[in-house]
Amino acid sequence: MADSPPPSRDDFLNPRSRYWGEFSLPNVTFNSNLQEFASKVSYLCNLETGGKIPPGEAYDQIKKLWKDLKRSKKALLDTPLPELPPEELD
């Protein structure tokens, strides 16, 4: 059995899960943003728990990340996609 190469540093630090929902560009893009949000919140929680950043700073950064995620949701999932004329669908 051949050993597989170790994951890259980025893949190790920011693992991505496969998307299993309804496939559309907005859904996949939002899922990517959601996974990035979860990863960053995890880092901030660990930094705060380890005493590397104060609780207030962790809260403020998580609040900013949350606002960014809400904007992403609104732009990607709450805004209807424009209808293409039938001749442009071919």
Domain boundaries, the chain: 37-75
Compute the distance between CA of residue 18 and CA of residue 3 in angstroms, rounded to an integer. 23
Whether the Cβ atoms of residue 48 and residue 55 lie closer than 8 Å to each other: yes
Contacts of 31 (CB under 8 A, 6+ apart): 19, 21
- Structural tokens at position 4: 């597989």
pLDDT in tens, 51-74: 999 999 999 999 999 999 999 999
CA distances from 36 to 7, 23, 46, 81 (A): 18, 19, 15, 24
pLDDT in tens, 19-45: 888 889 999 999 999 999 999 999 999
